[in-house]
């Protein structure tokens, strides 16, 4: 007798829980592959895309931070502006970016920062920028403030408030028209989102082309998997503090990037983790609007991942 989700889901509370477009059997087969297959190239991967295994969270943070700093340094040397789409999660890489830039005394006055998302209510109203828990407050404290005199000018920092998010597409287009490089820094959500662009949004578009053109969403409805992921990673398990809505960029921005820098650090210790299943689908499911993260390998760039996420993803009591 077989007892697992795929064989028991019919009639259960989970039957309508997962995004309708997910092929759970395919996802399970991918997650069941041998760990050494995680880096096997797919035909749809960009030639300039590379998954990079890291031995520890600290190793991942250092390498990811150095990668961000390299983009700042290279564009400055080229005399170009740099538009950075930035996440608040993962976060540990920013201190290493700061250390590298301070060591080489590289000013960020050519950098434009765009926070990719922010908590909101259903109408897109957000917390005050200096409120505890806001992504703006987190980014100011972890990155901009710590850069000191080298920092990104305040007028070149954009945060995903209802008012500013509407300005992202125009401003980024203007910068790129002037020769700016667009780089997206990202994590992979438990529900396979990028930023807070949820898989369930795919049902609202008539075609993949329409989906790809969507630049942002104000008051985006979050999937329960996203809420629980954030309860674990950002709210010390207190689910009731996690907002059910967010403002977010969409594929019309993150898929237009010249380069992507990804991080997957979802290990919890004692053999526990939350991100391996998602990582395998992001890398090998194939581009599908129901799996937003599946498009990231189509961009040049690097995805730094903790080696434990590759598996084997087998049952273990901890």
Q: For 204-219, give the DSSP string.
A: G-SSHHHHHH--EEEE
Question: Which distant-in-sequence residues (6+ apart) come within 8 Å of 210 by Cβ?
Answer: none
Percent of the chain scoring above 70 in pLDDT = 100
Average pLDDT rounded to a whole number, residues 142-164: 98
Tens digits of residue pLDDT in 157-213: 999 999 999 999 999 999 999 999 999 999 999 999 999 999 999 999 999 999 999
Categorize the per-residue pLDDT at 143 as very low, low, confident or very high, splitting at 50, 70 and 90.
Answer: very high
Longest Cα separation, the chain = 65
CA-closest candidate to residue 187, choices 259, 97, 279, 269: 279
**Using CA atoms, how far apart are residues 144 and 151, in angstroms rounded to an integer?**
6
Q: Is residue 1 pLDDT above 80, yes or no?
A: no
- For residue range 50-85, what is the model confidence (pLDDT) as tens digits? 999 999 999 999 999 999 999 999 999 999 999 999
Answer yes or no: is pLDDT of 133 > 90: no
Task: Report the pLDDT averaged over residues 218-222.
Answer: 98
Would you say 115 and 253 are in contact if contact means Cβ atoms under 8 Å apart?
no
Q: What is the pLDDT of residue 70?
A: 98
Backbone region of residue 11 per phi and psi (left: phi > 0; alpha: psi in -120 to 50; beta: other values): left
Residues recorded for the chain: 318
Tell me the pLDDT tens digit for each residue of 238-251. Answer: 999 999 999 999 99
- Domain ranges for the chain, please list them: 48-310
- Between CA 290 and CA 78 the distance in angstroms is 38
Instruction: Give rounded-to-5 percent helix, strand, coil for the chain.
Output: 40, 20, 40
Tokens read off for 140: 């100011």
pLDDT at 2: 79
Spatial distance between the Cα atoms of 219 and 120, rounded to a whole number of angstroms = 6
Q: Do β-strands 272-273 and 82-86 pair in parallel, antiparallel, or remain unpaired?
A: unpaired
Name the CATH code of domain 48-310 (choices 3.30.1490.20, 3.60.20.10, 3.40.50.1360, 1.20.1070.10). 3.40.50.1360
pLDDT of residue 223: 98
Residue 318: predicted pLDDT: 76
How much is the pLDDT for 316?
85
Phi, psi values for residue 69, rounded to 5°: -60, -40
């Amino acid at each position: 007798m077989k007892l697992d989700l795929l064989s028991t889901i019919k009639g259960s509370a989970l039957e309508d829980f997962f995004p309708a477009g997910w092929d759970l059997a395919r996802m399970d087969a991918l997650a069941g592959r041998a760990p050494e297959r995680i880096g096997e190239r797919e035909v749809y991967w960009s030639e300039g895309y590379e998954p990079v295994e890291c031995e520890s969270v600290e190793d991942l943070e250092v390498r990811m931070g150095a990668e961000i700093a390299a983009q700042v340094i290279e564009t400055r040397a080229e005399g170009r502006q740099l538009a950075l789409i930035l996440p608040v999660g993962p976060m540990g890489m920013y201190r290493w970016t700061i250390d590298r830039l301070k060591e080489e005394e590289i000013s960020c006055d050519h950098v434009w920062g765009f926070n990719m998302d922010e908590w909101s209510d259903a109408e897109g109203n957000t917390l005050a920028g200096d409120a505890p828990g806001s992504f703006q407050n987190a980014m100011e404290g972890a990155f901009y403030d710590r850069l000191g005199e080298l920092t990104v000018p305040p007028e070149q920092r954009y945060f995903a408030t209802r008012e500013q998010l509407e300005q992202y597409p125009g401003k980024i287009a203007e910068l790129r028209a002037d020769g700016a490089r667009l780089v997206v820094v990202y994590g992979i959500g438990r529900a396979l989102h990028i930023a807070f662009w949820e898989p369930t949004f795919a049902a609202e578009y008539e075609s993949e082309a329409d989906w790809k053109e969507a630049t942002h969403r104000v008051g985006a409805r979050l999937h329960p998997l996203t809420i629980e992921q954030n309860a674990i990673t950002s709210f010390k398990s207190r689910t009731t503090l996690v907002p059910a809505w967010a403002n977010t960029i969409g594929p019309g921005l993150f898929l237009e990037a010249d380069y992507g820098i990804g991080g997957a650090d979802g290990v919890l210790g004692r053999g526990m983790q939350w991100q391996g299943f998602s990582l395998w689908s992001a890398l090998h499911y194939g581009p599908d609007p129901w799996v937003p993260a599946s498009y990231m390998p189509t961009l040049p760039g690097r995805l730094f991942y903790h080696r434990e996420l590759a598996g084997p993803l087998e049952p273990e009591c901890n």
